[in-house]
Amino acid sequence: MTITVGFLVFPGIQLLDLAGPYEIFSALPDGEIHLFWKTREPVACSAGMRIYPTTTLDDGPLVDVLCIPGGVGINPLLCDEEVRGWVQRQASTAQFVTSVCTGALLLGAAGLLAGRRATTHWRYHDLLAKFGAIPVQERVVRDGNLITGGSVTAGIDFGLVLVAALRGQAAAEEIQLALEYAPEPPFQAGRPEDAPKDIVEVVRRHTETLRAERERMI
């Protein structure tokens, strides 16, 4: 049976939030992927690469898996009634409702995290509670049909967890091996608890404005 996956794409999306799970889902032999936005005009990700939506919010189908990536462009969507309404409609019939990184904030703004366990990027993790969510410090968190991935690179892990939920662990392991996904980071700085304190402070300073804007909007 065909599994339809719908990603929301938008100006300022974090490329890897989309590309990681997209690569995983595209390996499903019975998968069908849609990229939704308000128009079919290309949108620029936060790094500048352009992404071409395949359908619009109004014209696209209801999907089995709804996935909301994150990125700096998530901010204006938190107060966008058209986008929030679309997320709610898709979530009402989807088999799985999911997010990567700060895409979880949009799920929260759409009222989908209240009383649910969830995760997001470490810099904004505490903001989940403002939506009534139960913040969990894990790379991938599943609560029923809600699956949230943490920071940017967690999108790959999240994708494998979802494939296992859909098709079993063996199917996920086949994809993992085909991609030779066996991360060995060159530095132990991928989490704030592991990174040197001065590095953590630099990243905090660089994201102060973005975090303050999100706090105001939430």
176-191 pLDDT tens trace: 999 999 999 999 999 9
Query: Torsion angle of alpha carbons 174, 175, 179, 185, nearest 10°?
Result: -90
How does residue 25 score in pLDDT terms, banded at 50, 70 and 90?
A: very high
101 DSSP 8-state letter: T
Phi, psi of 205 (to 5 degrees): -65, -40
By CB atoms closer than 10 A (0-12, 13-18, 19+), residue 149 is buried
Which pLDDT value is given to residue 211? 94
Q: What's residue 207's pLDDT?
A: 95
Going by pLDDT thresholds of 50, 70 and 90, the confidence category of residue 43 is very high
Note the pLDDT of residue 82: 98
101 is catalytic: yes
**Strands 96-100 vs 146-149: parallel, antiparallel or unpaired:** parallel
Joined together, the tokens standing for residue 101 give 């990184």
Contact residues for 108 (Cβ-Cβ < 8 A; gap 6+): 118, 127, 128, 130, 131, 132, 133, 218
153, amino acid identity:
T
Nearby residues of 204 by Cβ (< 8 Å), 6 or more positions away: 123
What confidence score (pLDDT) does residue 185 get? 93
211: nearest Cα among 130, 146, 133, 107: 130
pLDDT of residue 129: 97
What's the CA gap between 183 and 92, in Å, rounded?
35
List strand residue ranges (DSSP E) for 38-92, in order: 43-44, 50-51, 55-56, 65-68
Of these residues, 45, 67, 79, 101, which one is catalytic?
A: 101
> How do residues 89-128 score in pLDDT, each as one tens digit?
999 999 999 999 999 999 999 999 999 999 999 999 999 9
With beta carbons less than 8 A apart as the criterion, state whether 199 and 192 touch.
Answer: no
How many residues make up the chain in this entry? Answer: 218
In this prediction, residue 1 carries a pLDDT of: 79
| pTM beyond 0.85 | yes
Q: Is the pLDDT of residue 27 over 90?
A: yes
Torsion angle, alpha carbons of 15, 127, 8, 47, to 10 = -20
